[in-house]
Amino acid sequence: MTSDPNDVMDIGNRLLKQYPNAFTTEFSANKQVVRNTTAVGSNRLRNRVAGYITRKKQSKCSSH
């Protein structure tokens, strides 16, 4: 099963909107938050969502 980039972005943006303070710039911490807040069964999709969120958080931190 492949993970559609649009699905990754949709899930990531929804999680960032629902839990804005739960995520950090650390991938491993974000992976745990994604695991605890979603029912994503695939490790690959979970990692892609966590990576997307990590990149978004890092870009916000570097722009300030």
- 64 confidence band (pLDDT: 50, 70, 90): low
Architecture of domain 5-63: Orthogonal Bundle (1.10)
> What is the residue extent of each domain of the chain?
5-63
* Segment 4-20, tens digit of pLDDT: 889 999 999 999 999 99
Q: What is the pLDDT of residues 25-60, one digit of tens each?
A: 999 999 999 999 999 889 999 999 999 999 999 988
The two three-digit tokens of residue 9, written as one number: 């972005």
- Is 53:34 a contact under the CB 8 Å cutoff? yes
Contact 50, 30 (CB under 8 A): yes
Whether pTM exceeds 0.95? no
Helical ranges in 1-64 per DSSP H = 5-18, 27-37, 43-63
Instruction: Band the pLDDT of 61: cuts 50, 70, 90.
Output: confident
